[in-house]
């Protein structure tokens, strides 16, 4: 199995909160791929960007893929989430290796 993790913010960069339908769609996609997921809410974070400190709250999703062949499909979901949740980049981990992914 390959453990993956994705952080999805609860609001966009302008502070607009995402609705439950956005998260239902994400969770539906994760279920279809991995058969299940674990979610942790209220994950607080901060990062430096152009001289300012940006703070946000995210949901953390853990998905155990059956094998490496599923990673490409998982990355497609990550890209969908980046666009749907209006992010310039999105934090992920695959098998413990962290990455911040921007546009393809």
Question: How many structural domains compose the chain?
Answer: 1
**pLDDT (tens digit, 0 to 9) for every residue of the chain, 104 residues total?**
999 999 999 998 888 999 999 999 999 999 999 789 999 989 999 888 889 898 889 999 999 999 999 999 999 999 999 999 999 899 999 999 999 998 87
Distance separating alpha carbons of residues 23 and 27, to the nearest angstrom: 6
Nearest to 15 by CA among 74, 45, 56: 56
Q: What is the CATH number of the domain that holds 93?
A: 3.30.70.120
Residue 49 C-beta-side C-alpha neighbours within 13 Å? 9
Contact 4, 93 (CB under 8 A): yes
Q: How is residue 24 written in tokens?
A: 């239902």
Distance separating alpha carbons of residues 83 and 78, to the nearest angstrom: 9
For residue 49, the enclosing domain spans 2-101
């Amino acid at each position: 199995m390959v453990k993956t993790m994705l952080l999805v913010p609860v609001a966009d960069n302008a502070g607009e909160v995402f609705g439950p339908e956005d998260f239902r769609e994400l969770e539906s996609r994760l279920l279809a791929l991995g058969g299940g997921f674990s979610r942790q809410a209220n994950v607080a974070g901060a990062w430096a960007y152009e001289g300012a400190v940006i703070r946000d709250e995210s949901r953390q999703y853990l998905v155990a893929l059956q094998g490496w062949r599923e990673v490409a499909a998982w990355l497609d979901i990550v890209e969908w989430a980046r666009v749907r949740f209006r992010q310039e980049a999105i934090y992920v981990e695959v098998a413990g290796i962290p990455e911040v992914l921007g546009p393809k």
